[in-house]
Amino acid sequence: MKLGDRLREIRQQQEQTLLQVAKSTGLSVSYLSDLERGRTNPSMETLKRLADHYQQDLADLVANVDGQGGLTLESLPPGLAELVTDQVIDEETARDLSRIELRGQRPRERDDWLGLYYHLKGIMRQYLPPGPASKEE
């Protein structure tokens, strides 16, 4: 069983909505939904919050969980998979972008993801050391 399936199973057994879990844990509904769908990997802190919320030991929370599995195009948010398929960005970059949430929202269209990618790339250039100097003769 995948972790997302396990989290959904526990939530449904306790007859809770994503909104109830979000209010109790301080996590967004969209993030919790992505966890249940296997679109993102939780941190240890997130797992602890969820275990506390569901009143379970962390070991019980992840019992019978066989991992998140690898990145698949189907697991990427809409529009982002297109950028990988079209070879605009690589899978590692797509995995990183898929974890981004802006004010509880995610881009939904290909062009929105592409705009976010170029925006972040521009910001990162400020923090990277300059490349090798070219010699002009």
> pLDDT tens-digit profile of 29-79?
999 999 998 888 888 889 999 999 999 888 888 777 765 445 566 667 778
Residues 3, 68 contacting (CB under 8 angstroms): yes
Q: Which pLDDT does position 60 carry in this prediction?
A: 80
Place of tokens 């004010």: 103
Q: Which residues pair with 105 in a beta bridge?
A: 102
Q: Which pLDDT does position 5 carry in this prediction?
A: 87
Select from 84, 94, 92, 86 the least CA-distant residue to 116: 94
Alpha carbons 34 and 65: distance in angstroms, whole number: 17
What pTM was computed for the model? 0.50
- Say whether pLDDT at 137 is over 60: no
Q: Which two tokens stand for residue 134?
A: 């070219």
Alpha carbons 77 and 56: distance in angstroms, whole number: 30
3-state secondary structure of 102: strand
